[in-house]
Structures are given as structure tokens and as C-alpha cells.
Amino acid sequence: MEAVIDIQGLSKSFGSHEVLKDINFSVNKGEVVTIIGSSGSGKSTLLRCVNLLEKPSGGKIIFNGENILDDKHDVHQYRKNLGMVFQQFNLFNNHNVIGNCVVGQVKVLKRSKEDAEKIAMKYLKVVGMDAYVNAKPRQLSGGQKQRVAIARALSMEPDVMLFDEPTSALDPEMVGEVLKVMKELAGTGLTMLIVTHEMEFAREVSDRVVFMDKGVIAEEGTPEQIFNQPAQERTKEFLKRTL
Ligand code: ADP
Ligand code: MG
């Protein structure tokens, strides 16, 4: 299988606090990998290292065969390949819905405004937000904002989509609409790396599940292995607390 991202021996410390220790895993093309684990186990830091919002302290991130932590690699160029969806949406409040999905395409990818709008509309349809093109973020519910944030990331047509607990900031009644969109995306062959607390969702969509505990990958496997036959005591403990 072809690895799009291959993480090798990745570590990250904040001062003397080692938050990630010898992390090894890969995401293959078209695969959906979910990362689960307790709060504080290092999940967000790992995603932030993958897109270089944090500088790893050691290790390699092999992307399409090259270590992007080598000095010669251009961070901005690399980031174009990754779409990121955050817990807190991070929409541009001064732009309307379509503006949010167009601005990065024009500024970063140098697409024409016309092309960018066409592409934005395509992905706003995918997330079911095409009827809201002129709305401002403040006029939207949390679930709608998150769907726009997903469309915005998709509009950049990245190789990999990263999601950091995309439903954690939502009121319970809005979680379903966002997970539904993500399930649909998973079914299209999109490569996705998802941090989530939604265990049923993880079980359903994942090709592989990575369980993190205190900065290490404690266990990794298929949903069947992780949820039905966890090998590690700490995985069992975690699942007992969350399921
Ligand atoms: P998770 O997403 O699994 O809840 P995080 O990656 O957010 O975990 O955090 C893992 C650990 O790293 C926590 O102990 C957190 O306090 C610490 N941490 C995260 N970001 C920073 C930072 N910028 N500076 C110092 N410590 C941090
Ligand atoms: Mg987190």
C-alpha cells in the first residue's frame, strides 16, 4: 500500500515535558485513520506536528516519499497538501460562506476568483451548505459552521484531510450532521486522519484506529481489534471509561 504520510520516530517536547515519544504510524492513500485517547495524551499535538503548526523535536515525517522535516523543504508548499478542520471552526468572521471557501484558493493556490467559486460551490454542495453562500458565520449554527469549515478545507483539494475533534465544540443535536458529512467523505476514498471522541463513529468509518496514551501509541489496529479485542490493558481501561 502506498503511504501518503509516514511518521517515523516522531517526538515533541515543550520545555522538559515530552508530549510525544517515538510515534510511528502511516496513513495510506484512501485510508481513514482515527486517533483516540484520553484528554492530554498528545492527539492534538500530533496533528499539529503533522501539519507543522508545531515543530517536532525529532523524527521524520515522510510525505510522498520525502522527509518534510529536512531543511530544504518549504513548509508552505507542504501545507497545501493538507486540509485541516479544527474543533473551533476558525472561520473568517468577516467573510461570508462562499468567501471563506474562496479566499485560500485565490491567495494560496492562485486560482482565479471564478474557478475558486465554482470549486467552492461543488464542496458546499457536498456538505449541504450551498443554500447559505451569502450567510456570515455568525448567522450559522455550530454544525453549519463546521460543515462550511470542512467545505473550505476540501476546496483546497488536499491529499489528506486532518480533523481535530471536529464535533467536540458542538451542541449534541448538531454532532450527527457533521459526522454524517464525514462518513460520506470517508466513502469517497478521501484520505483522512481524524482525532475523535466519537467511538461509534470511529468504529464505523475507520480502516485503522490508533490509541494514544501519555504521548505514545499504545495500540493500533482495525476497529474490530481495538474495540472488540483490545490487546493492551490501558486500551481496555480507556474503552471502559468512554463506551
Ligand atoms: P490531547 O489533544 O490528546 O488532549 P494535547 O496534544 O492537546 O492532548 O496535549 C498533550 C500535552 O501537551 C498536555 O499535557 C498539554 O498540556 C501539553 N501541551 C500542548 N500544547 C502545549 C504548548 N503549546 N505548550 C506547553 N504544553 C503544551
Ligand atoms: Mg486535543
| pLDDT tens-digit series, residues 3-58 | 999 999 999 999 999 999 999 999 999 999 999 999 999 999 999 999 999 999 99
Residue 62 · residue 8 · CB < 8 Å: yes
Question: With bands split at pLDDT 50, 70 and 90, how would you rate the model's confidence at 65?
Answer: confident
Task: Tell how far the Cα of 7 is from the centroid of ligand 1, in angstroms.
Answer: 19
Ligand positioned closest to the Cα atom of 87: 2
CA 208 from chain centre, in angstroms, equals 14
Report the DSSP beta bridge partners of residue 11: 58
Measuring CA to CA, which residue among 212, 164, 162 is closest to residue 185?
Answer: 162
Task: Tell how far the Cα of 44 is from the centroid of ligand 2, in angstroms.
Answer: 4
Task: Tell how far the Cα of 191 is from the centroid of ligand 1, in angstroms.
Answer: 25
Ligand positioned closest to the Cα atom of 88: 2
Please tell me if the CB atom of residue 43 comes closer than 6 angstroms to any atom of ligand 1: yes
Task: Tell how far the Cα of 42 is from the centroid of ligand 1, in angstroms.
Answer: 6
Residue 41 · residue 213 · CB < 8 Å: yes
Please tell me if the CB atom of residue 42 comes closer than 6 angstroms to any atom of ligand 1: yes
Measuring CA to CA, which residue among 139, 130, 142 is closest to residue 177?
Answer: 142
Beta strands in the chain (DSSP E): 3-14, 17-28, 32-37, 58-63, 66-67, 82-85, 160-164, 191-195, 208-213, 216-221
Ligand positioned closest to the Cα atom of 163: 2
Question: With bands split at pLDDT 50, 70 and 90, how would you rate the model's confidence at 73?
Answer: confident
* Per-residue b or e along 217-228, where b marks 16 or more CB atoms closer than 10 Å to that residue's CB: bbbbbebeebbe
75-99 mean pLDDT: 95
Atom of ligand 1 nearest to the CA of 195: 2
Residues whose Cβ atom is located within 5 A of ion ligand 2: 43-44
Question: With bands split at pLDDT 50, 70 and 90, how would you rate the model's confidence at 72?
Answer: confident
Ligand positioned closest to the Cα atom of 43: 1
Measuring CA to CA, which residue among 60, 59, 108 is closest to residue 82?
Answer: 108
User: 152, exposed or middle or buried, with CB in 10 Å at 0-12, 13-18, 19+?
Assistant: buried
pLDDT tens for each residue of 179-221: 999 999 999 999 999 999 999 999 999 999 999 999 999 999 9
User: By alpha-carbon position, which residue is closest to atom 23 of ligand 1?
Assistant: 14
Task: Tell how far the Cα of 96 is from the centroid of ligand 1, in angstroms.
Answer: 32
Mutate to test the pocket of ligand 1, among 16, 20, 45 (most ligand atoms within 8 A of CB): 45
**Percent of the chain topping pLDDT 90:** 95
Does residue 71 surpass a pLDDT of 90? Answer: no
Complex prediction ipTM: 0.98
Cell of 182: 464525514
Does residue 69 surpass a pLDDT of 80? Answer: yes
Q: Which residues, at least 6 apart from 72, have a Cβ–Cβ distance to it below 8 Å?
A: none
Task: Tell how far the Cα of 20 is from the centroid of ligand 2, in angstroms.
Answer: 13
